[in-house]
Structure 1
């Protein structure tokens, strides 16, 4: 069984705009270390140091209050803050720097009982299973493994893929009775995932490109996050490229 300390989830929050983490999400992620990233995207004409001088104390106070809520449920939590001209670049950099397995795109979550896990044929299901086992520990959450085949010829391969994923989850310590599986045929994976997600409370998707910015915020996951009312957890690829930008040219400061 994997050590929960081997995993970590990044949760970006615009706390200065009043964004919060739903209590249901806090409870569900109590078993896994999280990094709370308080951020504020600032206009090009505003310097990061200027923004920090003006809003830094308030940012830290809001983060401290939110951190205490996570700590009250026994969560291992750290905080980071950033005033940046490019929030997407910041999310990616912090995820890499803090060795986060996944990024949680927040949406309201009045209840959190079921998880839809969208699995493609080209992802590392063992890696996803180990992270999911850590998240599921200490909860009653149930999950549905979901695969979209492009045609009927791909349905059987999809079923094999989901059985492999189920086996990995069971091997990681998840009770088989908590796992369901569904394969559908659809030429629009995004539409099929959205339709299925409507019957679940949290959507989990694997990263399809070696860049959080390209996938989470400029690709399918962005459309999923914008068009579903559920939180979306995007699991990073096991070998995420780590292209570091010059911070002074990035217009960013954090701490």
Structure 2
């Protein structure tokens, strides 16, 4: 059986921008260790010292409130406060530093009843399935496993990948009647977004980047930006750290 503590999810929150974490998200992730990253983007003309002096007290108070919400739900939560000029670079760096398997991009989520998982051939299917099983444990969320093919020649391979993912979910306590598998054809981004319209939460893996490409500068980013649902981006183990934040950081 999967151990929830084998995984950790980074949850970035625009801490002074009015962004909130829906109660349905907090409840669904209560059994998974999370890192709540409270971030505030600062303009180039603002120095880190100015941002810290002006915003730190308010940002820290908001982050502490959010931490309490997760703790009340029974979640093991770590927090970090960052002032940054590049939020995507910050997400990548903190995920690497704190060994987070995935990053949850928040969107409104009034209910969480169904999850769509896009399974691709260049992503570790077993790892993705185990992470999904961790999230699904102790919930009633149903899951659809989707693989998009560009030709009939790829269909058998896609079906095998989906069956591997479904079997991993079953092995980790997710009942088979909660699992649906679908092989679709067409453009992957469009097919995933079309299917996501009928689900409440989307899980996608990163594409393999070039040596210096940052997280979210690939198909996962385009999907996340166009989706109206919360999106879990499963990190690839091939990413490397690139750059540092500006401003103060605080881990608790």
- Taking structure 2 as the reference length, what is the TM-score of the superposition? 0.94
Query: Could you tell me which residue of structure 1 aligns to residue 159 of structure 2?
Result: 159
Q: Distance in 2 between matches of 1:183 and 1:23?
A: 32
Per the TM alignment, residue 244 of structure 1 is displaced from its structure 2 partner at its CA by 4.7
Q: Distance in 2 between matches of 1:21 and 1:118?
A: 23
Superposed CA RMSD in Å reads: 1.6
Q: Are 1:197 and 2:196 matched, yes or no? A: yes
SS of the counterpart of 1:217? coil
Query: Could you tell me which residue of structure 1 aligns to residue 146 of structure 2?
Result: 146
Query: Could you tell me which residue of structure 2 aligns to residue 231 of structure 1?
Result: 230
Q: Are 1:254 and 2:252 matched, yes or no? A: no
SS of the counterpart of 2:183? strand
- Taking structure 1 as the reference length, what is the TM-score of the superposition? 0.93
SS of the counterpart of 2:248? strand
SS of the counterpart of 1:147? strand
Query: Could you tell me which residue of structure 2 aligns to residue 243 of structure 1?
Result: 241
SS of the counterpart of 1:51? helix
SS of the counterpart of 1:121? coil
Change in Cα spacing, 1:221 to 1:215, as seen in structure 2 (3 Å) is farther
Per the TM alignment, residue 197 of structure 1 is displaced from its structure 2 partner at its CA by 0.3
Structure 2 gaps of 5+ residues are: none
Per the TM alignment, residue 81 of structure 1 is displaced from its structure 2 partner at its CA by 0.7
Query: Could you tell me which residue of structure 2 aligns to residue 181 of structure 1?
Result: 181
1:97-136 map, 5 Å: 97-136=97-136
Q: Are 1:46 and 2:46 matched, yes or no? A: yes
Q: Distance in 2 between matches of 1:54 and 1:47?
A: 11
Q: Distance in 1 between matches of 2:12 and 2:209?
A: 19
The structure whose residues are more often helix, as a share, is 1
Per the TM alignment, residue 241 of structure 1 is displaced from its structure 2 partner at its CA by 2.8
Q: Are 1:69 and 2:64 matched, yes or no? A: no
**Contact 1:215–1:221 (8 Å) recurs in 2:** no
- In the comparison of the two structures, how many residue pairs are matched? 249
- Per-residue CA deviation, residues 96-145 of structure 1 (Å, 9 max, x unaligned), is 11110100011101111000000001211111121111111110011000
Change in Cα spacing, 1:215 to 1:115, as seen in structure 2 (3 Å) is farther
Q: Which runs of 4+ in 1 moved over 3 A?
A: 213-216
Per the TM alignment, residue 18 of structure 1 is displaced from its structure 2 partner at its CA by 0.7
**Contact 1:114–1:200 (8 Å) recurs in 2:** yes
Q: Distance in 2 between matches of 1:57 and 1:87?
A: 20
Q: Distance in 2 between matches of 1:52 and 1:140?
A: 42
Query: Could you tell me which residue of structure 1 aligns to residue 89 of structure 2?
Result: 89
**Contact 1:115–1:141 (8 Å) recurs in 2:** yes
**Contact 2:92–2:215 (8 Å) recurs in 1:** no
SS of the counterpart of 1:169? helix
Q: Distance in 2 between matches of 1:243 and 1:223?
A: 21
